[in-house]
Amino acid sequence: MLETVFASRLQFALTTIVHIVFPVMSMGLAPFLIYFTWKDIRTGRPIYEQLRRFWTRIFAVSFVIGTVTGIVLEFEFGTNFAAFATTAGELFGGPLALEGMMAFMLEATFLGIFVFGRERVGNALYMVSAVAVGLGTWLSAIWILIANSWMQTPRGYELVTENGQQVVLLVDPVAAYLNPRFFWMFVHMQNAAVESVALVMAGLGAYYVFRHHVWGRRTQQVDFWETTLKFGLIALVITAPLQVIHGDLYARHVFETQPQKFAAMEAIWETDSYVPEYLIAFPTSLQDIFDPRAKDIFGIGIPGGASWLASGGDPQATIRGLEEFEGPQPPVAIVFWAFRIMVALGFWFILLAVWGTYRWWRGELLEDDLLHKALMVSTPLGILAVELGWVVTEVGRQPWVIQGVMKTSDGVSPGLTSAEATATLAGFAVVYLGLLTLYLYVVARIVRAGPPEVPDVESADEVSETTTEVSVDD
């Protein structure tokens, strides 16, 4: 049997890793669906109806499975982390309740109209439903990230004793809900979601364009996928650079508010200055993999880069090493390598955006097979980068469940046994991996079925004019 704390943490990590796929897809699709709906109503072009109807199907599936897997996460606070729920319930429960009452209800109320009501309601109400559904997905993220960001940088509370137990008392909701971490997490997460969907769009579009280019057959579906590829590329050009720029500023904020996490991200054990930032790092031994130390790892980096990143411009700045922090350390290897891979993916996405834009400018976007293969391989990498980002965020603040207030080991349900924690972990692994498999199967069937048929589908020339109009005028 697994130790109770470890099994509970592993269960929550597993369920979160699977669950996050679905809100990433729904949040990332929301801006696209609002735009496609607006253009469909405004122009009446069949291509926009196809785009709206096709991606709405994937959005609906993501919403349904995301709802099922997300509700269970909230129950886990009571089953596996009851001590945490008791201590932080007054502050933590509010945002989760508002997420359900405000964001989920708004989204669920209008989703039926948006999915099934195009022929039953007028243009104005249908447009309202599209905006409401999109707004609901983003409001949901706001309340979830308020709760999580407070755990990273707790503010607006007092610790009081009730019935012999220390609990968190909310004294300043504004300070608590608009804590220093919230802005950074929200912008980074939402941009990552749109970027992830942009990569999915570009990758799927590139696959079908590649097949057409290799086999030499042109169909109405190819016109749809060419347009999808271009929309994905436009979004990638916007989101990929923004993610790296914001990520740089976010890392500086982490250094200021969670210096131990920052030291783990850079694998700095001894306090030092002029610390390099390794863009590419290679372990020289098995020990380096499981116990990375920046100064012992072979890498290609920027001298003083980590110091510059931490300080905001001073390559000589001093970074506190992990050895200066008392108590347990976060799992440095997981944090260090997850951060490295995430950053590498971020720069790869910028390269894809620049590469695709250049080929489009040259009029060769639809003929570059190597670019198409690169986009196909990169289809799931945006979601992978999101997963790695959450690994850095959550694993990096260990051993704390509430930074500086409560340790994770103290938040586990006191009556939970090792056998119970291990059994539920095994059960959740089977169910959640099964749901993920089902989701991928359904989405694959939607993709293979292709875009829905609509009357008077545009010719290839009209589709080309549409994408040119989008890129230039809108």
**Per-residue confidence at 239, pLDDT binned at 50, 70, 90?**
very high
Q: Mean of the per-residue pLDDT values for the chain?
A: 89
Is pLDDT at 425 greater than 80 in this prediction?
yes
Model pLDDT for residues 23-37, shown as the tens digit of each residue: 999 999 999 999 999
Question: In the chain, what is the greatest distance between 2 CA atoms, to the nearest angstrom?
Answer: 76
The predicted model gives 403-412 an average pLDDT of 93
Distance CA 200, CA 207 (A): 11
Q: What is the pLDDT of residue 215?
A: 58
* Confidence (pLDDT) at 216: 57
**pLDDT above 90 for 460:** no
Question: Hey, what are 297's tokens?
Answer: 């790892």
pLDDT for 1-20, tens place per residue?
899 999 999 999 999 999 99
Q: 457: closest CA among 45, 54, 55, 57?
A: 45
Domain assignments of the chain as residue spans, ordered by start: 4-271+320-473
3-state DSSP: the chain helix, strand, coil percent, rounded to 5?
75, 5, 20
- Which tens digit of pLDDT belongs to each residue from 172-181? 999 999 999 9
Residues 285-296 have pLDDT tens digits of 777 788 787 776
Q: Which of these ranges, 114-123, 274-283, 328-337, 411-420, has the smallest mean pLDDT?
A: 274-283
Asked if pLDDT for residue 197 goes beyond 50, the answer is: yes
Question: In the prediction, which pLDDT does 471 show?
Answer: 46
> What pLDDT shows up at residue 459?
42
Amino acid at 273: S
Cβ count within 10 A of residue 231: 23
